[in-house]
């Protein structure tokens, strides 16, 4: 009765089941996987945010497939502040980065065409690909004095069905940016194989050293789709505003935009109040980002402080984003370890295998957890791992 593409295993995994059991039993759980900024005890200017949604102009229906120009201009302005000149006409609004991926996969791929995606990375890719009948072919990041793209493996992964390469800048959960040298090589690789580049930059503004990294939004060498949105830029995932910036050789960009516009016109998924509020919501990034960056640095410093007091676990280097990676002794699978930590010390951390790590021995913690919970959670985890 149902399509093969929806043949997912619908039962919860063992980790989720263990969490449910614990919560149902009324046990307090320290959540070191928290990635929802609206639940991270941050101060939002709720008056400004809610007032922006109350705009009388929202009574007019003005269907614009790429999104209202005022909202696209605000997005172009966000890039201009980072010294990248982005034409509002090259921007198309979507309700989420995930929707942006779907549009781009739809634009580029016939059924069973291939997209090269980095590994380890964000687990949602698998579902996005299933839904668009696209095959994901992984290329590895390797850890050697920081995370790097394994270019020889990338070259081996390409086939005549490959349509694009995904780069996540910085990647979730490795926290590694695409370096300038890697960017050049990626461009070269895409040119050589006639591929597009898809750059996911939702965490671009969260560099731990405070040094801004260049966006791909102005990348001109190859056809590039840069995805980002308010969920991380302004810490407002509930507002559902994201975008695709198309850049590259003019003829290709014009052709891509024409087609993307028809995809977007088919759904017209952006609503009026949110588009009218987008300039104000983007501005909120200026007040929420310093709070989040402060939170990331506080938690990272606390993690490092506690790590110096023991010997069994290490933190992997990271440059940006909201997560930290712990290398832990391999005495069992990461999933078993995470379940044990949940049952024995009531702390939620993600096992590496959720993000397709090539081997066991990795745990992931969110760095936006409120510091009190973070400190106590790390104490319990390290205590358990250093008996």
Ligand X SMILES: Cc1ncc(COP(=O)(O)O)c(C=O)c1O
Q: Does residue 369 bind ligand X (CB under 6 A)? A: no
d(CA 357, CA 250): 38
Helical residues (DSSP H) of the chain, grouped into ranges: 14-24, 46-52, 69-81, 97-108, 125-131, 151-157, 180-193, 230-233, 250-267, 272-283, 285-308, 334-345, 371-385
Stretch that binds ligand X, among 38-46, 96-104, 298-306, 349-357 (CB under 6 A): 96-104
239 binds ligand X (CB under 6 A): no
To which residue do tokens 């928290």 refer?
A: 34
In angstroms, what is the minimal distance from the CB of 251 to ligand X? 29
Confirm or reject binding of residue 122 to ligand X (CB under 6 A). yes
3-state secondary structure of 18: helix
280 dihedral zone (left: phi>0; alpha: psi -120 to 50; beta)? alpha
CB 344 within 8 A of CB 384: yes
Q: How many C-alpha atoms does 216 have within 13 Å on its Cβ side?
A: 34
Instruction: Note whether 235 binds ligand X by CB under 6 A.
Output: no
Span of 95-103, 144-152, 155-163, 351-359 interacting with ligand X by CB under 6 A = 95-103
- Interaction between residue 205 and ligand X (CB under 6 A): no
For 5, 7, 11, 128, 349, the CA distances from 1, given in Å and listed in that order, are 12, 11, 19, 21, 37
Interface residue with ligand X, options 71, 93, 202, 337 (CB under 6 A): 202
Q: What's the closest the beta carbon of residue 28 comes to ligand X, in angstroms?
A: 25
Among the listed residues 369, 318, 305, 380, the one whose alpha carbon sits nearest the alpha carbon of residue 42: 369
Residues 159-188 that bind ligand X (CB under 6 A): 168, 172
From candidates 200, 205, 319, 335, binder to ligand X by CB under 6 A: 200
Helix (H) or strand (E) segment spanning residue 163: strand 162-168
Instruction: Based on the shown chain and the rule CB under 6 A, indicate whether residue 97 belongs to the binding site for ligand X.
Output: yes
- What's the closest the beta carbon of residue 291 comes to ligand X, in angstroms? 18
DSSP labels, 34-72? ---GGGS-----HHHHHHHT--GGGGS----TT--HHHH
Neighbours of 353 (CB within 10 A): 18
Burial of 304 (0-12, 13-18, 19+ CB in 10 A): exposed
Binding test (CB under 6 A) with ligand X, winner from 229, 248, 320, 352? 229
Q: Which stretch binds ligand X (CB under 6 A): 5-13, 90-98, 134-142, 254-262?
A: 90-98
* Nearer to ligand X (CB atom), residue 96 or residue 219: 96
| Site for ligand X contains 237 (CB under 6 A) | yes
Q: Which is nearer to ligand X, 202 or 253 (CB)?
A: 202
- Binding-site size for ligand X (CB under 6 A) equals 13
Contact region for ligand X (CB under 6 A) — 62-70, 91-99, 175-183, 307-315? 91-99
List binders of ligand X among 1-60 (CB under 6 A).
35
Residue 4's SS3 state is helix
| Closest separation in Å from C-beta 1 to ligand X | 30
Span near ligand X by CB under 6 A; candidates 52-60, 93-101, 343-351, 364-372:
93-101
CB of 62 to ligand X, least distance (A): 24
For residue 165, how far is the Cα from the chain centroid? 16
Three-class secondary structure of residue 87 per DSSP: coil
Among 64, 98, 234, 275, binds ligand X (CB under 6 A): 98
Q: Which spans of this chain sit near ligand X (rule: CB under 6 A)?
A: 35, 96-98, 122, 168, 172, 200, 202, 229, 231, 237, 242
């Amino acid at each position: 009765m149902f399509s093969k593409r929806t043949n997912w295993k619908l039962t919860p995994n063992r980790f989720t089941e263990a969490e449910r059991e614990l919560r149902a039993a009324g046990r307090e759980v320290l959540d070191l996987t928290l990635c929802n900024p609206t639940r991270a005890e941050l101060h939002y200017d709720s008056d400004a945010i809610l007032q922006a949604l109350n705009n009388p102009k929202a009574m007019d229906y003005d269907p614009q497939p790429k999104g209202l120009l005022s909202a696209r201009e605000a997005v172009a302005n966000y890039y201009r502040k980072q010294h990248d000149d982005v034409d509002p006409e090259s921007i198309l609004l979507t309700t989420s980065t995930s929707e942006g991926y779907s549009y781009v996969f739809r634009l580029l791929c016939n059924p069973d065409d291939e997209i090269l995606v980095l590994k380890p990375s964000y687990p949602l890719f698998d579902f996005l690909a299933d839904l668009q009948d696209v095959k994901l072919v992984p290329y590895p990041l390797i850890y050697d004095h920081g995370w790097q793209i394994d270019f020889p493996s990338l070259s081996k992964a390409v086939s005549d069905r490959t349509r694009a390469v995904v780069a996540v800048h910085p990647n979730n959960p490795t926290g590694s940016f695409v370096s300038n040298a890697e960017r050049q090589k990626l461009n070269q690789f895409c040119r050589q194989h006639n591929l597009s580049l898809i750059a996911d930059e939702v965490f671009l503004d969260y560099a731990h050293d405070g040094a801004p990294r260049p966006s791909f939004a102005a990348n001109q060498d190859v056809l590039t789709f840069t995805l980002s949105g308010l969920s991380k830029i302004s810490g407002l995932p509930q507002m559902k505003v994201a975008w695709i910036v198309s850049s590259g050789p003019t003829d290709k960009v014009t052709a891509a935009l024409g087609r993307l516009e028809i995809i977007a016109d088919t759904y017209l998924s952006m609503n009026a109040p949110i588009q009218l509020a987008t300039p104000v919501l983007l501005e909120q990034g200026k007040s929420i980002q310093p709070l989040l960056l402060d939170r990331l640095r506080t938690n990272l410093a606390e993690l490092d402080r506690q790590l110096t007091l023991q010997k069994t676990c290490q933190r992997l280097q990271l440059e940006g984003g909201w997560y930290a990676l712990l290398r832990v002794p391999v005495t069992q699978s990461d999933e078993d370890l995470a379940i044990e930590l949940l049952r024995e010390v009531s702390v939620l951390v993600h096992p590496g295998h959720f993000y397709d790590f090539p081997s066991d021995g990795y745990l992931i913690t969110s760095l936006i957890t409120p510091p009190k919970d973070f400190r106590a959670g790390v104490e319990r985890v390290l205590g358990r791992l250093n008996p």
